[in-house]
Amino acid sequence: MTVSNGNGNGNGTANGHDTARRPLPCGIYAPTMTFFNDETEDLDIPTIKRHAERLVRDGLVGLVTMGSNGEAVHCTREEKLAVTQATREALDAAGFTSTPIIIGATEGSVRGTIELCAQAQLVGADYALLLPPSYFRALMDEQAVYDYFIGVADGSPIPLVLYNYPGAVAGIDMDSDLLIRLAEHPNIVGTKFTCGNTGKLTRVALATNAKTPFAEGSGYMAFGGMCDFTVQTLASGGSGIIAGGANVMPKVCVKVWNLYAEGKREEAMELQKTLSKGDWFLTKAAIAGTKQAIQSYFGYGGFPRRPLKRLDKARVAAIEEGVKEVMEIEKAL
């Protein structure tokens, strides 16, 4: 079964809204960090802009605002929109007017999610990344999850990328059958597989004829959700990577992707080993650790909002040492 996804990427219309939408290219994306003032925890808009520009200058093909790494659960709707607008302004000012922005727009209701998607479009978001609803976990069977996404897709003026991350939604893990069924909707244009299940990614990519560096396919995007399986995503027919580690070592992430896409697969696999080793230190230390790695190597980063803990000096030093090998490569690229 091949799902045709005619709406997805590029110019067209979404639910009656004329668009000149930025396409989603194959390659590396980052779910950008949201930076705060160390004392007040207010948004640090200048640093948010600086970071966005650095990532795209270093080769990323798109950005995700208000994802898990962006502390979406710590931000108000107004802040989510402000961060997205600031990111769009930074990219446009730097000449990256064609770089797409995906906003994490999950809310608890269909109505609220559609509202946020509509507001996000006005401030520069091109697509929305959505988790399944999970607050009323016992009531969220497969049909309820399906109905949520279809309801949002019917009403959203921007296309949707589904976000399969069981750890963030009380264990809800969408299987390939459900994802393939949802992909039949013309306003659902991709899935991010933070579950790490490359078999599932393979099945969905095959059924949807997903876009790859080697073929345009249907335009559907099958994203790996961490940089530590970049080569595996490519081998599985994937379209891109949305990876927290790309906030810290974007050039290495891009290099692995490009080596494989250019047919230099042995080189890609060797560099992937170093990338995976370094990324594990960031994965274990989560948002606080990623921010501190940015602080150590780029001079900004700061801390997450409470209740997430600030790391002590010993932990920061351990992270810095853990990513040292991959960061030496990053700095040399």
Residue 162: beta bridge partners?
A: 130, 191
Given the residues 49, 80, 192, 211, select the one marked as catalytic.
192
The neighbour count for residue 251, using CB atoms within 10 Å, is: 19
Task: Reply yes or no on whether 211 is catalytic.
Answer: no
Distance CA 159, CA 154 (A): 10
- Nearest alpha-carbon partner for 106 in 135, 141, 133: 133
Q: Tell me 132's DSSP state.
A: P
Distance CA 241, CA 214 (A): 15
DSSP letters spanning 89-120:
HHHHHTT-TT--EEEE---SSHHHHHHHHHHH
Distance CA 1, CA 180 (A): 9
Distance CA 47, CA 26 (A): 27
Q: Are 52 and 242 within 8 A, CB to CB?
A: no
Provide the annotated active-site residues: 192
